[in-house]
Copies of this chain bind each other. A is one copy, B any other.
């Protein structure tokens, strides 16, 4: 609040250097913090700049504009997302069904815990989703899901693309519609349906899901 600007001739002390050092990464980190703290609408170029300790126009030298920053944020978020799914998979044991369930649990939990990030990753209109770096990072996340689908392929040992799409759509829809959220969106029925039951219904033979 009491922001006393330092005199120009103060030689010693932690004066912020004119060159930040790694402002690009600092802006991405600040953006992620803002999204986590304030939701999808909490990210602003000026707020990210302020959080990184630079003036409001400084980001222009590292990002062509807000869409460019959003694309970088979405890319980094997909890396975090992959990590979350991977961690959930590793904690789920070796059984194929448990592993796929674990990954989906990680997927849903990430969507709930980082709703702002998730919105930027999948929904923000001005993210350039044809950006090569973004594409490769998001496909890494998709590969995590695909790998876990492999044991359930109907063309085993070849991948079953139809199943991959079905699982991805199912878990994404479940997460986005808020069925797994602690704070449901409004039209969530009660009792809240467990995702694993839905998943088994898709990947296991009929009758084995119960």
A residues in contact (CB < 8 Å) with B: 39-41, 119, 122-123, 125-126, 129-130, 134-135, 138-139, 142, 161-163, 165-166, 168-174, 176-177, 179, 185-187, 189, 193, 197-198, 201-202, 204-207
Q: List the number of copies, as a whole number.
A: 2
A186 closest partner in B (C-beta): B129
Are B206 and A205 neighbours in the complex by a CB distance under 8 Å?
yes
CA of A157 to CA of B50, assembled, Å: 60
The distance from the CB of A19 to the nearest CB of chain B, in whole angstroms, is 34
**What's the nearest-Cβ distance from chain B to residue A64, in Å?**
18
Of A171, A198, A202, chain B has the most CB atoms within 10 Å of the CB of A198
- Given A129-B186, A138-B187, CB of A179 within 8 Å of CB of B165: yes
A197 to B163, CA, bound (A): 9
Contacts of A163 in B (CB 8 A): 201
Q: In the complex the two chains form, is B201's CB within 8 Å of A129's CB?
A: no
Tell me the minimal C-beta distance from A175 to chain B in angstroms: 8
Q: Per a CB cutoff under 8 Å, which of B41, B134, B174 touches A165?
A: B174
Contacts of A204 in B (CB 8 A): 206
Is B187 a contact partner of A177 (Cβ separation < 8 A)?
A: no
